[in-house]
Amino acid sequence: MYKKSAAIRCREWPCLRSKLFLIMKLSFFLCLVTILQVSAATSFAQKISLDKNNASLAETLQEIHLQSGFSVFYNAKLLKKAVPVNVHLQNADLSDVLKQCFQNQPFSYVVNNNTIVVTPKPAVAKPVQVITITGQVKDEKGVGLPGVTVKVKGTNTGAQTDMSGFYKIEVNDNNAVLVFSFIGFVSQEIAVGNQTRIDVALKEQTSALSEIVVVGYGTQKKVNLTGAVSSVTGETLNKRPVVNPASMLQGLAPGVAINVGSGEPGNESVSIRIRGNSTFSGAGSDPLILIDGVPGNFSDINPTDIDNVSVLKDAASASIYGSRAANGVVLITTKQGKSGQMAVTYDGNVGFYSPTKMFKLVTNSAQYMELFNQARINSGTTDPGSLYPQDQIDLYRNSTDRLHYPNTDWLSLIFRTAPTQNHNLTFTGGNEKTTYNVSLGYVNQQGIERGFDYKRYNARINLTSKINDHIKFGTNVLLKSGTRDAVAGNPSSPSQWDGSSMDLFLSAMSQAPTYGPYLTDGSGRYTYKAYDFEYNNKNPIAVLDQNYKRVTNDYAVNAQGWFEVQFNKDFSWYTKGAVNFNMDKYKDFKATLDEYNFRTNQLQTSLDLGKGLTDQDEQTVYTNLYSYLNYAHNFHGHNVKAQFGYSVEQSKYQYLQGYRKNFADIDLQELNAGGSDIQNAYGTSNQWALMSYFGRVDYDFKGRYLLEGNIRYDGSSRFYGANKWGVFPSFSAGWRATEEPFVKALNLTWLDNFKLRGSWGQLGNQNVGNYPYQALLNFTGNYSFDNSTLTTGVAQQNLNNPTIKWETTTMTDIGLDITIFKNLSLTADWYNKTTSDILRQAQVTAAVGLGAPTINNGVVNNRGIEVGLSYNNVIRDGGLKGFAYNVGVNVDHNRNKLVQFGQTEIGDYTINQNGQPWNSFYMLQVIGIFQSAAEVANSPKQFSDSTLPGDLKYKDVNGDGKIDQNDKTIIGGVYPKLNYSFNIGASFKGFDLSAMAQGVYGVKSYVSGWGTIPFVQGASPTTDWLNAWTPEHPSTTMPRIYFGQSAPDKIGRRSSYFLQDASYLRLKNLVFGYTLPAQITKKIGINRLRVYFAGDNLITITKFKGLDPERYGSGDQVQYPQNKIYSFGLNVTL
Amino acid sequence: MKNRIIITTIFITSLFLGACKKTLDLNPADQIATSTFYKSKADFDEALAAVYASLQPEEFAVGMGFRDCFTDNGYNQFNSGSSKDFVQGNFNPTTGGYETGIYNDSYVGIARVNLFLQNLGNYKGSDISDAQRKVYEGEVRFIRAFFYFQLYSIYGDVPLVLQPLDLSNQKQPKVPAAQVLTQITADLDYSIANLNTAAYYANGGHAAASSAKALKARVLLFAGFGNNGTPDPAMLAQVRDLCLDLMGQYKLSTNFEDIFRDATQKNNTEIIFSINFLAPNNTTPWDLYYGDYDACAPLQNMVDAFECTDGLPYGTSPLTDTKNQFKNRDPRLAKTVYADSVYFGPGKVYHPSNLRPTGYGTIKFLEPNNMPYGFSTLSQQDAVILRLGEVMLMYAEAQNEVAGPDATVYKAMADLRARVGMPAYPAGYNKDQMRERIRHERRIELAFEGLRHYDLLRWHIAGPVLNAVKTSLINYHFEDKFYHWPLPQTEIDKSGGVLIQNPDYK
């Protein structure tokens, strides 16, 4: 029976085919077929008769199909190449028939069950042609260059030149192209053709002049830039072995101050400040972060995926981002694929983290007990029931039984040296039409503070494809999944009192050394004090052991699709659409804990940690679509470029939280397993939208005179009526003196580039609550009249202000770029940035009884200078031939001033006053320690204190003969006077070394709480307090010792005693690597193999007395410490 | 192919481009716009709840014991409300604590009342009857009077705000204290005339006419002593009459402790007004603060002030037992103060996690059933603001000042003491002797209910009493200027010269 569908023609592949996919599919199919063939071999019984002369193969196969009933598969296109068939057989086996038919055919076949598949004949391997090419690479002066990389284009075959610049490389055919590249020189490509000897003279690169810089919605040649942009390569960033990519920017760009608030894994509180704190509004001073052109979260990126980071610092470069660019813009570009064979790169390291510094506490119990008694007595507690009896002190001092009379070092129980692993795998390659860069990353960071760990998985898929010469499209996709473990609590901020890393830290500090974490009876029960009069917080080891954790999962999916159409030489059109999906989930579980007296083993307290489970889901969906047209044309030396675009963004946030208490079984940590008597649910959502038009015009005349104008017109859902829309323009100009004929005529060979530039522009800030203009009532003030039902309360809580509008930042920038002697570059900028119409809370009198509305009022000014200097060179001859090195320095200074604040506002230890920096320190000034009763008597009376020798001596600032709150004074140092960094790098014969030192100067930090005054919650004093002032041992630095919270005000007042110099200079990063000679690694199939050591925060020079001077800011002394890292890594390219 | 792609892309792009300007018109999903509220009685009931809830902040409710730490009664180791700064005399316009807390939160409550009254005035709906309208107004004006009394008694002259304010008229000058007093009595008189006559415990938790009467008695008793502690007989006569009225309507709770415990507060015949809480969603941390933190530690002199069971002072009485201080003492001692651990009988013991700086803690407000006390304890005890015990003391005091220690004075005190098994006063006191006993009785009966501070001010004895305190961990120092607190400096600053600081703090 004839089956119409029997001979199925394989359809032609669609035009959009990818060779890669084709190969994969085919080989998979063939594998399958080959495997199945074995089992099908028995069914060859059919007899066939054929009589064909010069018949087509297709026709013959049809006949076979009809006779045998076997289906036949073939590719019609393939079959066109068939030679005519001559076959004469009677009742022959199918196998014989096929054998004859396929004789001399350029195909083969396989038989499987009832199917015959025509397959291309495996090509007979042609003998590989090997052409050996030799030659010498020289510089322009004709001196041989060692260490030049010679590569066969599109392959991983490569070689390096020897000491005299000679090389030898093998290619497979005459079509091969050799690529010669060397740092500091322009790469060259040469087709092999019939040559076997190729000598090359490489041209020196005039340093950064040909560099391309990423700017808003495009790129720009660095020489033509008129704005202030700092650019950092991904390679430079990735020298740091740290996990958070934002912190890698530290010290690399002048005017960009990065502060890593904490070393807590996954919760580093990295702050990025570009040119100072420009506002005091809730809108904040964080820059806009864009990943491949779309707002995103810096810390979601895998650092190894970063190709380049551009920081747009002035108004001219940032104003194309209008209403969100007031604090500068950070543009991150991720790596795109490169055509050629697939290159696989593995980059991984294992680091060992330890605290940069740890408190030195008194851990000797006898010493602790004596200081405790002294502090209690000094604080007025003389009741013997609240003091350690002398016999007990002696027991601790003299006992050899350290089980029952321990000297417990609690901090050592929660801090440790912890490993971090970091593995990255990148696949890149493609053909002329399609390229890909796919990467996978994994980080596992264990906290130096126990209980705080972080894991992150990253994947990135970047594809670019050319449809034809005019159209390109691509996708950038980021997937991230992070898991952060923390001790249950509120770990939202590692530097807040209720942040759980700090909470655990201070809990450990608050324990006395007189007892250990467990009872001595071996029962594993947890302790609570040895003596009832001791103070302490919860037993940190119990919390850790019991796994009372908050596990936070954060997921991010950033998907972008784009296309670009090049209509003709001048016109192009670019469009990108993006969806960012971010989800944060956490589960927080706590239960009560029984704690027992260390000495009596009696149940002392049932520690209540807020028994219950909180489960929260938060998600943000953000969409962005932008599209712009580009035009560029050169009219006889007049270069004109223009751009016009449109963008629309929408963001929706929602969260849902559930809570239950009273869990019967603490291992069942799901809401449904909790009691239903106490349960809560919360949830809300909010959204904002932004619509924008933007444009840019560039003009230059022969690269000599540069002009640029930008404009953005933004509409925001946050404002109302006419205030919805705002215009943000900017203008900039540049003059490259070195392009002037008269300068060229001077023939200044040492001067390569001299550019003067200036810019002016306005930027906006709209980052205030989502609905600030509307008059709203809140669900607040529930009340129970009858004590059995709760009536919902509704009240207006805030005044509203419908006329609210954009906050505006106006910035002027004057800059200078100079390059001399080809290798020495200087970039300097001066700027003046004024933010006005600040979106601040109105200063509303309490008599109104309602919260303040957001209004536009206030002016802040930031002024500063930034200088970046860099030098790089390669030694060309002598014994150090091939030695490449670079040196760089970045320095910046910023001065912040409240120009118009309104009524002075005094905070706890800060003041906001016109003419002073925002949040200036304001407190009593300590001028020493009273040494004698006579000195006390002869000094101004301090409050109503009973001042004693050994107490702090405050300065009578207003000279009225008494010390009171009127003697508080402004003390400078809230912002650093200078941020600076140095970096050096060198490479020679496979070795590479680089170091970066970073520092801040002239900044102070106010510290309080645990670790400042002794015995806060019983916290053991730092060893400094062993030298506390006593009549027998007077001290001029350490006052009398008082007892924690019951310490008299005279020691605890906000005063300069607690204001510490937080300036520092630290060796931020040191990398030493070695790349094995390619000749050796090639033998095991590896193109490049580098091993390296990278260290972080290795040396710190500071006067700061607390933990680490690099911290979140003023406030509690105790914060999760910074990490000192020793890491060892491996970099392999296949 | 190429055209297809371009057309598709243009199409998709234009969809976004076409996203009309409405994209930028967004409204919150969980808040109500003012224009859509106050449209029915139910809306007013919800607004009324928020007015009552404005009484819930710490300084008016759970912190009532902390108010006694501004006196010779207690010590707050956490300096809650800046009580330590106050008693040490380091008190100035920038001290903060309750100095700003009472000021700010009172005006928050006043603003809610004023907004309520304004919206009620504008509402024309028929679902609110005229009678209901008057009850609404009476209730919120009672609460406004409560707040103004806080301001009047502590600061004296303050801005008098009776209409909602906005940015244009936010800078308000202060008015003389007498004018504030007039407004308080006017509000309370309105409440007395219009609120339900049923006793508070039978009025569904809403303020009753009797609540307003009791508050008015307290206000007049305070005002009646003027600025120098000399009583005004006319005012005290009014106090006496108001109290007499209330003593006829209310009955003492059988057990003293029942007034403060959760289960026995409901329908308690002694309570004339309370600020209510309800677990699990509307709680306040009584048990945590008093039972675990020991944030209100009675001073030794307070403990010593409790008489022995024979009615004689501790130390003088032959029943004095210095080894066991709690033995043979006025039963209210053990119901007010705990030593070291909270003890409600065998098996009902809780050891606070914080130190007891004076050796004592306050047990008065603790709920035995909530043990163990801690961070997640959900306390729902109501804050008893007005109760018959205080009314009886007010009656006795007023009557003694007006008419001398007559039998009704003796009886009121005898009844109050009899509840806890304490003997009546011996006969034959003169007016001064009786005054001293009543003042002492107030300190014991009302300990840590936040009234000691008012008493020291109105009797004008804060100086001698506080400067004599030697049993605290800090040095007491009181100056006459502290009879009136300074207005918060932030308010002076923000008013741009309109609001003038109290003269002693300039």
Query: For residue range A235-257, what is the model confidence (pLDDT) as tens digits?
Result: 889 888 888 999 999 989 999 99
Average pLDDT score, chain A: 87
Cβ–Cβ below 8 Å for A846 and B278 = no
Question: Which ranges of A175-269 does DSSP label H, i.e. alpha helix?
Answer: 234-237
Residue A833 confidence class, pLDDT cut points 50, 70, 90: very high
Question: What percentage of chain A exceeds 70 in pLDDT?
Answer: 93
Cα separations (Å) of A180 from A46, A146, A186, B340? 63, 12, 9, 84
SS3 A429: strand
A-B CB pairs within 8 A amount to: 271
What pairs with residue A169 in β-bridges?
A133
- Contact flag B166-A799 (C-beta cutoff 8 Å): yes
Q: Tell me what pLDDT residue A592 has.
A: 80
Grade residue A910 by pLDDT with cuts at 50, 70 and 90: very high
Sign (positive or negative) of CA dihedral B26, B28, B34, B36: positive
Tell me what pLDDT residue A26 has: 40
pLDDT at A22: 41
pLDDT of A184 above 60 = yes
Chain A: nearest CA to B473, how far in angstroms? 6
More confident residue, A292 or A879: A292
Angle in degrees, 0-180, between the axes of helices B431-445 and B388-403, rounded to the nearest 10: 170
Length of chain A: 1134
Q: Residues A106-123: pLDDT tens digits?
A: 777 777 777 777 777 655
Phi/psi at B443 (nearest 5 deg)? -60, -35
Tokens in use for A562?
Answer: 């784009």
Nearest-neighbour CA in chain A from B277: distance (Å) = 6
Tell me if A134 sits within 8 A of A166, measured CB to CB.
yes
What are the strands, taking DSSP E only, across A941-1026?
Answer: 941-942, 952-954, 962-963, 969-971, 978-988, 991-1001, 1004-1008
Whether residues B104 and A846 touch (CB distance < 8 A) is answered with yes
Using one digit for the tens of pLDDT, what is the confidence trace for B176-197?
999 999 999 999 999 999 999 9
- The answer to whether the CB atoms of B494 and A606 lie below 8 A apart is no
* Nearest residue on chain B to A724, alpha-carbon basis: B24
Peptide bond into B280 cis (omega under 30): yes
Phi, psi of B282 (to 5 degrees): -145, 75
What pLDDT is attached to residue B213? 98
Strands (E), A901-963: 905-906, 910-912, 920-923, 926-929, 941-942, 952-954, 962-963
Summarize the confidence of residues A582-611 as an average pLDDT. Answer: 85
Residue in chain A lying closest to B488 (CA): A846
A565, A644, A783: best to mutate for the B interface, most B CBs within 10 A? A783
Strands A131-138 and A166-171: antiparallel
Alpha-carbon gap: A622 to the closest alpha carbon of chain B (Å): 14
Q: Which residue has the tokens 């809480």?
A: B277
* pLDDT: which is higher, A495 or A69: A69
**Whether the predicted pLDDT of A497 surpasses 60:** no
Q: Which one has a higher pLDDT value, A40 or B205?
A: B205
According to the model, what pLDDT value does residue A211 have? 80
Nearest CA among A942, A948, A937 for reference residue A963:
A942
**Element housing A71 (H / E):** strand A71-75
CB A563 to CB B5 under 8 A?
yes
CA distances A818 to A578, A760, B79, Å, are 39, 21, 61
pLDDT < 70: residue spans in chain B: 1-21
Closest by Cα among A89, A5, A77 to A48:
A89
Structure confidence by residue, pLDDT tens digits, A1088-1125: 899 999 999 999 999 998 889 998 788 888 889 999 99
Residue A850: both structure tokens together:
């309602």
Residue in chain B nearest A647 by alpha carbon: B17
Q: Do A785 and B52 touch (CB under 8 A)?
A: yes
What is the structure's pLDDT at B31? 75
Do the Cβ atoms of A541 and A416 come closer than 8 Å? no
According to DSSP, the residues that pair with A458 across neighbouring strands are A441, A480
Regarding an ipTM greater than 0.95, the answer is: no
Max alpha carbon distance in chain A (Å)? 133
Q: Which member of A724, A787, A904 has the closest CB to residue B24?
A: A724
- Closest chain A C-alpha to B110 CA, distance in angstroms: 7
Provide, as residue numbers in chain B, all residues whose Cβ is less than 8 Å from the Cβ of A796: 34, 115
Tell me if A144 sits within 8 A of A137, measured CB to CB. yes
Q: How far is A1028 from chain B (nearest CA, A)?
A: 22
pLDDT value of residue B15 = 57
Cis peptide before A254 (omega within 30 of 0): no
Cβ(A716)–Cβ(A283) below 8 Å:
no
* CA separation for the pair A580, A623 (Å, rounded): 6
Of A196 and A709, more confident: A709
- Of the candidates A989, A694, A699, A839, the one whose C-alpha atom is nearest the C-alpha of residue A326 is A839
C-alpha distances out from residue A63 to A7, A46, A55, A60, Å = 11, 14, 11, 5
Q: Nearest chain A residue to B352 by CA: give it.
A: A605
What is the spatial distance between Cα B189 and Cα B209, in angstroms, rounded to a whole number? Answer: 9
Whether the CB-CB separation of A675 and B378 falls below 8 Å is answered with no
Assess contact for A929 and A1035: CB atoms under 8 A: yes
Chain B contact set for A533 (CB, 8 A): 355
- pLDDT of A121 reads 67
Question: Model confidence over A1041-1090: pLDDT tens digits?
Answer: 998 867 788 888 999 999 999 999 999 999 999 999 888 888 888 888 99
Quote the CA–CA distance of A176 and A198 in Å, as a whole number: 13
Cβ(A1000)–Cβ(A983) below 8 Å:
no
- Best probe of the B interface among A379, A651, A660, A777, by most B CBs < 10 A, is A777
The pTM of this model reads: 0.80
Of the given ranges (A480-489, A554-563, A968-977), which has the lowest mean pLDDT?
Answer: A480-489
